[in-house]
Amino acid sequence: MKKILVTGGCGYIGSHTIIDLIENGFEIISIDNFSNSYPEVLDKLKEITGKTILNYNLDLCDLNALKEVFKENTDIDGIIHFAALKAVGESVENPILYYRNNIDSLLNLLDCCSEFQIKNFVFSSSCSVYGNAEKLPVDEFSALTVSESPYAETKVMAERIISDFANVNSFNCALLRYFNPIGAHESGFIGENQKGLPQNIVPRITGTALGEFSEFKIFGNNYPTIDGTCVRDYIHVSDIAHGHTLAIQWLFEQTTDVVEVFNMGSGNGVSVLEMVLAFEKSTGQKLNYSFEEKRAGDVIAIFANNDKAKNILGWQPKKDLNEMMSSAWNWAKKL
């Protein structure tokens, strides 16, 4: 049984990935300082998996504290690195916070990989690295254009740092550029639940339907898209989670050092307005929404060519948009 360190293990994608890893025979330890998650997630993970997850409550930017984790766990076989700040709007308003947190934490982890000889690493990247792509769908060979936000730039920088590190170390890495994870675990025990006002589209939609917000604001309705609203590629969080399991398994199978990029998306572009209609159709709830001015940092349209992940990792998204929206709605009501 291989032991995997999951950073940000109590977060939205991290917690779902821990479930998938355990279901596929891995032992897990987690690092999460609950800056944007809740300790109660650990109890929910135990209810779902029957396993108690050891979590270290520390900041990855504290290198000395991080090294103690590796000294106590000398049998770590691989790392899946989720922990990062991730709100586009907040990164525009406070770029130094994003650069310091997202880059320093990665550098510290790579220092530990070198010192403690851990060579298998899955990195949580983002489709935001493509910026406003000239051609859609984007594949892994698409050019990386100018970043639209400091958040996106931290992902571009992180990928380059990892590649440079791998050039001079015995190191395997899968860089997973995933698109827009939504939905919740089928148990209804865990889902998207960030601290503070939700920034992502689905919690804003469900929050509006539950009366937490007076209306759902759509930022921009005159983009050059099917209906004037931004287009994104939405993928169920459990499908994304399984992609991480397949990626770490694939790394363990490699006989030579590799650094590979994989898109994790459904392959379908869906506009914000289409998301609203999908929510109404799948839940029977009418949504009060309005159009607002465009928001700084937003990309016009992005969706994936996911052939590489399908062909190499054997990954296949299974849940459609209706399942994504209905599971998110069930989670929001329970929450």
Q: What is the domain-level CATH number for residue 170? A: 3.40.50.720
Kindly state whether residue 155 falls inside one of the protein's structural domains. yes
| Predicted local distance difference test score (pLDDT) of residue 72 | 98
Q: Is the dihedral angle over the CA atoms 20, 21, 25, 27 positive or is it negative?
A: negative
Nearest to 141 by CA among 313, 302, 260: 260
The span from the CA of 240 to the CA of 17, in Å, is: 8
Kindly state whether residue 325 falls inside one of the protein's structural domains. no
The length of the chain is 335
Pick the range with the lowest mean pLDDT from 61-75, 118-132, 195-209, 247-261. Answer: 195-209
| Predicted local distance difference test score (pLDDT) of residue 286 | 95
Kindly state whether residue 289 falls inside one of the protein's structural domains. no
Kindly state whether residue 175 falls inside one of the protein's structural domains. yes
For the cut 90, the answer to whether the pLDDT of residue 196 exceeds it is: no
Bigger pLDDT: 143 vs 63: 63
pLDDT per position as a tens digit, 141-170 = 998 888 889 999 999 999 999 999 999 999
Q: Output the six-digit token pair for 309.
A: 């992940």
For the cut 80, the answer to whether the pLDDT of residue 244 exceeds it is: yes
Kindly state whether residue 158 falls inside one of the protein's structural domains. yes
Count of domains in the chain?
1
Angle at the Cα of 172 from the Cα atoms of 87 and 25, rounded to 5 degrees:
80
pLDDT per position as a tens digit, 12-32 = 999 999 999 999 999 999 999
Kindly state whether residue 279 falls inside one of the protein's structural domains. no
Kindly state whether residue 287 falls inside one of the protein's structural domains. no
- Beta-sheet strands, E only, within 52-119: 54-56, 76-81
Kindly state whether residue 166 falls inside one of the protein's structural domains. yes
Is the CB of residue 29 less than 8 Å from the CB of residue 76? yes
For the cut 80, the answer to whether the pLDDT of residue 199 exceeds it is: no
Instruction: Find the domain containing 136 and state its range.
Output: 3-183+234-265+303-318
How many H-runs (helices) and E-runs (strands) does the chain carry?
11, 13
For the cut 80, the answer to whether the pLDDT of residue 303 exceeds it is: yes
| Predicted local distance difference test score (pLDDT) of residue 133 | 85
The span from the CA of 41 to the CA of 33, in Å, is: 12
| Predicted local distance difference test score (pLDDT) of residue 197 | 78
User: What positions carry a catalytic annotation?
Assistant: 151
- Beta-sheet strands, E only, within the chain: 3-7, 27-31, 54-56, 76-81, 120-126, 172-178, 180-182, 216-219, 231-232, 234-236, 259-264, 270-271, 289-292
